[in-house]
Structure 1
Amino acid sequence: MNIAKYILAAALLALAAGCAKTESTAIAAGNPAAPAISVKLATAALRTMPVEIKTIGKVEAIASVQVRAVIGGTIIKAYFNEGDTVKKGDLLFEIDSRTYQEAVKQWEANLARDQALQAQSEAQLASAQAQEAFYGMQAGRYEKLAAEGIVSREQADQAAVEARARRTNVRAVSAAIDSIKATIRADAAALDNAKLALSYCSIKALIGGRTGDMRIKPGNLVKANDSDLVTIHQVQPAYVTFTVPEARLITLRQRIAKGGLPVSAAIPGDSLPDSRGTITFLDNAVDAATGTIRLKATFPNAETRLWPGQFVHVRVLLEEQANAVVIPAAALQNSQAGNYVYVLTAAETVEMRPVTVGTRLERDIAIDKGLRGGERVVVEGQLRLAPGMKVKAAS
């Protein structure tokens, strides 16, 4: 019972103290003779403020290639170290080429054999054509002699049959030559294919860039198009991909149409100046799920500070707002009714004025509505103030 009495007494004392404080605040706000509260003041300035979009972006390689073996075989040598920078056309891996070299030799031999057969058949064709001409003339003479009764009709018919046989032989040899020519073309195609397969034993870089980890080491057997040997990322230049609210789409399209929209990318923890780039891609549709649109900016990345997969702080300069009313961000207060600031009046008192907030830039903020340039606002000590209180500038 005694404990309950003590708790009740403490609660009454706290309530009395709160009422006393509220009453004293009200008196101070309405009493011109009350002592002025010491606060820090700042003057609202008119200046040009950049209108920016700030967001988070992700660095992407402008091109990536997964290097694979086009043919099967044993990797006998690698010509780079993991993480090396390579140029387009540099030799990366070598596959044991002995089997493919023998295939080339075999098809070269087949081609030479068939070319020799073609030459032989062409010689046979020349002989057959000569015989055709001879027996054709002989058949003509026998036909004339048979008409004059000098030779029998049987001899003339035999000469005609022999001439037809020689003509048939010419056609047969010509067909054989055509067949050999087709075989030669097939041999040439097979030889080209064998040479191509041999060239694939030397695996070269298709783009210039930085190599990743070597997933299959020399000495291992690989299958054609089975698995990645290494991945190459081209990082000069580099992409930074990010999204912005669709409300900015019209402004973005207008600026991009004018030619080049500058972008800066700040690397967290990096004290060096921001990297500079330009927007080069605007997606063709707004993401209905997030209400944002995807963009890409291209950065020269000459010093390779931007790394694929890295997150960066992106700033897009849309335009510059001239004669903006700018105050320190510390002056801005908020309540359930919205944003407001304490403004110093001519009577050295403060009034609570609602404001509409515009662009933020580091520690400054632009006020689109509710404040004029040259007015003084409270930037420190707002918690002790109420509308109508007298204030003085802190020394």
Structure 2
Amino acid sequence: MSLTPAVKVHRRIAEVGRDAWQACAGNPAYAGNPFIGYDFLNAVEEAGCAVERTGWGPQHLSVDDADGRVAAVLPLYVKSHSQGEYIFDHAWADAYERAGGRYYPKLLSAAPFTPATGARLLVRPDVDANEGRGLLLGGALTLCERYGASSFHVNFPDEDEWRWMGKQGLALREGQQYHWENRGYATFDDFLGALSSGRRKTIRRERRDAGADLEILALTGADITEAHWDAFFGFYLDTGARKWGQPYLNRLFFSLLGERMADRVLLVMARRGGRWIAGALNLIGDDCLYGRNWGAVEEVPFLHFELCYYQAIEWAIGRGLARVEAGAQGQHKIARGYLPKAVYSAHYIADPALRGPVERYLAEERAGVEAEIEWLAEEYSPFRQGG
């Protein structure tokens, strides 16, 4: 299937259209990742969360085939800051601006406010992947030059895409998260059986203490109501205010999520005496459960672990999912069965005066991250030997 060389720029994903976008994002190779789908990306735009006013100006790219059908797309934003990205380039920005440069605007391909791995250069399954990727990447670099942007960044691509971008000359970065992997467990107790005896006892105690006097529900699909979203949004605001001051998502976003993606949502909620006190939001892929947001209005020991980690593992086992991605940061996750895994980003820096130092820094950083992942997994794994 031949492609036209022209790359189109769209100021809203709605300009591409759901069917055309999903023809690319729905490629089976992307395992039903919910964060690259039209419904999620349109919801953050329609709710006013990822728009020019918030520093997330959509500039999505598309490429057509010879018949005029959309063959490849790239979620892309012009950014006036580095908030909500979870790949941190603030030091680069500060150094460049102290030297007299202008770091913003920059271009970013990512799922807004979401540190979850997934394809970014999205190509229809009947189209040559490398041809589609090449046209999208070329279009992004051309747009970078046209806008006078300092840089182009791709956050949390999958490993294959990341390595391909490295071969195209982008600078490669590694970070780490903590993921749980399903080793063929039939039940949560099977998972516990793979742990050391000490960890088994601790997790059982934490689950018992967290659930005392509480009702915990795992909700998805039509079981999730606006009343649940009202309660969860309160939890989200409380956590957001404490963590980063200004929560990224608004109440309308959660209504749109429930309206358009309810079958892709797992909302784990806890209540006492009929009053909701805590909740954890997950999104569901074809092979992965993605932990996203959590909050509580009452301090309950170990409730965070129960709602965010143990309930997610139990639900993933019950649905036969391959893994749970628990989001950014948190070495405490290791003791709960979530082991360190590499995550990726790729970067094009326009100015050679900044590009060289960044590339040297990233080479050293990658070596350090890889060594730390290996050390953490070896020294702190909760799994018994051979488990």
TM-score of Structure 1 vs Structure 2, range by shorter chain: under 0.3
TM-score by length of 2: 0.19
Larger Rg: 1
The higher relative CO (CA closer than 8 Å, separation ≥ 6) is in 1
TM-score by length of 1: 0.18
